[in-house]
Amino acid sequence: MIWLAWRQFRWQALTAAVATVLAAAWLLYLGGDIRDAHSAALSSCRTRPGCPQAMADFQARYRETMLYIAAGLGLGLALLGTFWGGPLVARELEAGTHRLVWNQSVTRRHWLATRLLLTVLAAAVVAAIVSALVTWAASPVDKSGGNRFGTILFGSRDIAPIGYAVFAVTLGTVIGLLVRRTLPAIAITLAAFIAIQFLVPNLVRPHLMPAKTATMPMTTEAVNHARNLGSVTGGPVIGGITLPDEPDAWISATSPLLTSDDRPLSTARFNHCLSSPPKTGTRGTFGDTAACLGKLNLHLKITYQPATRYWTFQLLETAFYLLLSALLATFALWRIRRHLN
């Protein structure tokens, strides 16, 4: 049975091996280039006082590349589910070859378990290799940026992609088992996996562990260290905040700007500081606006996850996807035994 499963899977495995080798070659080259640029940025820190600007330029140079890599890895994992998992059973049912296979000495469950296990292991190996190379190549950028919990980047580092790959293949297999047609199974698997990859970081990941809370005074300096002020609706909000005591923490939620009595700052007062602040000559990102807000005795209530929990979140999210995969596989084995003729 294992030999037959491998024979049917060998072309997909060969294609994945070639793609993995090509990706590995490029990531090794990219990792070397990133390390050269990082060394140059560190040299700037040692020779002149422009260290913050040098590191900012280093981050900016590879910011888009990191996003493209994360998106590419996510798409690759989705394709594993669509083209490996989707047709696994659906192709047999659509072509009618299941009648021959299931009338041999091997039971339906044994047949499905062997094929699914082989495919899942292959997907996990491919994901592990690519993820390890991506993590190695991007490590200088990740360490200097302190954004390891980023919605997109988190899922392309360390062990999380292994859980995604296993889930993608199992999900595709179950959808193919239910739909019984290859092309619809592929399309539905792709759409479902992308939707789940969007929902989990936003709805599940923030609640894998109880978050911590902190109150942060919004001094002139703190406002100047933010990345943006205001919103589309004109509300008194501030974004891109970094906790002084937890610079690499994942901030999952921030309150509006609050006054000393814990009430939201009025929109009119906020817009006054934003559009026509008193001229004070204050330097920084927001200058006079930061000084205007800093005089109002404001603060934020912040919900966050400490950076020390990064590996805990990696393990929990991977376990979450593996548990979903196990449930789907159990359902598939039950379904193929009792509801398919």
Note whether residue 324 is domain-resident.
no
**241 or 3: which leads in pLDDT:** 241
pLDDT of residue 153: 83
pLDDT of residue 325: 96
pLDDT of residue 142: 84
pLDDT of residue 238: 86
Residues 203-228: what's their mean pLDDT? 88
pLDDT of residue 231: 72
Q: Are 167 and 62 in contact (CB under 8 A)?
A: no
Residues 83, 197, single domain; the answer is yes
The CB density around residue 92, as the number of other CB atoms within 10 Å, is: 23
DSSP string, 288-310: HHHHHHHTT--EEEEEEE-GGGH
pLDDT of residue 190: 93
Note whether residue 337 is domain-resident.
no
The CB density around residue 74, as the number of other CB atoms within 10 Å, is: 19
Which element (helix H / strand E) includes 214? Answer: strand 212-217
pLDDT of residue 125: 95
pLDDT single digits (tens) 22-42: 999 999 999 999 998 888 877
Residues 22, 40, single domain; the answer is yes
pLDDT of residue 232: 67
pLDDT of residue 284: 77
pLDDT of residue 37: 87
DSSP 257: P
Residues 6+ apart with CB under 8 A from 235: 256, 267, 270
pLDDT single digits (tens) 238-265: 888 888 888 788 888 888 889 988 888 8
Note whether residue 319 is domain-resident.
no
Q: Coil, helix or strand for 239?
A: strand
CA 61 → CA 33, 55, 56, 67, 150, distances in Å?
A: 11, 10, 9, 12, 18
Please name which of 184, 216, 170, 156 lies closest in space to residue 331, comparing C-alpha atoms.
170
Of the pLDDT bands very low, low, confident and very high (cuts 50, 70, 90), residue 9 is low
Sequence letter at residue 229 = L
**Quick check: 145 pLDDT over 80?**
no
Note whether residue 263 is domain-resident.
yes
Sequence letter at residue 103 = N
pLDDT single digits (tens) 92-133: 777 666 555 666 666 777 788 888 898 999 999 999 999 999
Which element (helix H / strand E) includes 223? Answer: helix 220-224
pLDDT single digits (tens) 129-140: 999 999 999 998
DSSP 154: G
pLDDT of residue 233: 67
CA 146 → CA 107, 143, 249, 278, 338, distances in Å?
A: 52, 6, 8, 35, 51
What mean pLDDT, rounded, does the chain reach?
85
The domain total for the chain is 2
Residues 89, 184, single domain; the answer is yes
What range does the domain containing 178 cover? 2-207
Mean pLDDT comparison of 52-61, 226-235, 281-290, 303-312, highest-scoring range: 303-312
How many angstroms separate the CA atoms of 130 and 206, rounded? 26
Note whether residue 323 is domain-resident.
no
